[in-house]
Amino acid sequence: MKLGFLTACLPQWDLPTIASWAAGHDYQALEVAVWPGSGGRDFEAAHLPVATFGKREADATRGLFEQHALELSALAYYENNLHPDPGRREEIRTHLKHAIDTAHLLGVPYVGTFVGRDWTRPVAENLAEAERVFPELVEYAGERDVRIIIENCVMEGWHPDGYPGNLAYSPELWEWMFDLGLYLNWDPSHLTWIGIDPVETVAPYIDRIVHAQAKDVQLRPADRQRYGHFGPAVDRSANPWDMGWWRYRVPGLGQVDWSGIIDRLYEHGYTGTLSVEHEDPVWGGSPGKVTQGLEIAHRTLRPLIL
């Protein structure tokens, strides 16, 4: 197992700067963000120009990672592949294919994204639509020796009422999406706040957990007494991502049992990357604070990784 981090937390830095910092602070891998540019969420970043990526860029990128003895574990483009607007959905589909092409050129085995959801339609119709949309993408990736990995994030901010906006948040849905040829970028933080014990999900699904993210979550049960599990309902417009009773933290500052999780991953033979996904509001807002957060995550996780 190798410890890495998702570069999206440092949108202000270019990839050479991130790679130099990571190697100098005992990180072993990078999950590289490849959004087309700064988007609507502050953790979107463009660290490789996948839409125009060619052999020259591939050679330079491989050289950068060799120089710093880092592994490029996956490319990250987490967008809504079932977006209700046809034009936006086509833009996402096209960019995802660019990411897959870039992964192929670099010999990177995984490209991460979301199943997503059309929030104007019920779940059953979304499942049927995903069964139409994803086989072509999976085939496209497979022809290039790339696997599409799905993070099990709820993406509640995509739904106007704070309900799941990404149909891959539970083991029930994982089993459904595995039949489409998709794999997991497994993140225990999301499981924790929706009431699923992440440790108990490792053994049944280890064959499909090919990449993992390390993000913590801090629960505030007293606030849940006001809002209930689904968060604020009267006014969600100020911040649709604020559920009122929990927030993401860097590993070690929340409720996730990292010792138990890493032990269970080792027990069942996981040898992939554990990639810190830094979305901690306390340790965010500037590169200096973000890197301090990454150092906290490193101090928490590195002693547990052999």
pLDDT digits (tens, 9 = 90+) for 262-277: 999 999 999 999 999 9
For residue 7, give the nearest of 189, 278, 253, 202 by alpha carbon. Answer: 278
- Say whether pLDDT at 43 is over 70: no
Region 281-305: what's the mean pLDDT? 97
Question: pLDDT class for 38, splitting at 50, 70, 90?
Answer: low
Instruction: Report the CATH number that the domain containing residue 146 is assigned in CATH.
Output: 3.20.20.150
Q: Domain containing 253: what range?
A: 2-304
Average pLDDT over residues 104-109: 98
Q: How many domains does the chain have?
A: 1
Q: What DSSP element (H or E) covers 132?
A: helix 123-142
Judge contact between 149 and 74, C-beta under 8 A: yes
Task: Give pLDDT, residue 42.
Answer: 53
- Identify the CA nearest to 224 among candidates 244, 240, 248: 244
Question: Which amino acid would we find at residue 11?
Answer: P
Q: Are 295 and 9 in contact (CB under 8 A)?
A: no
- Give the global pTM: 0.96
Place of tokens 């150092």: 295
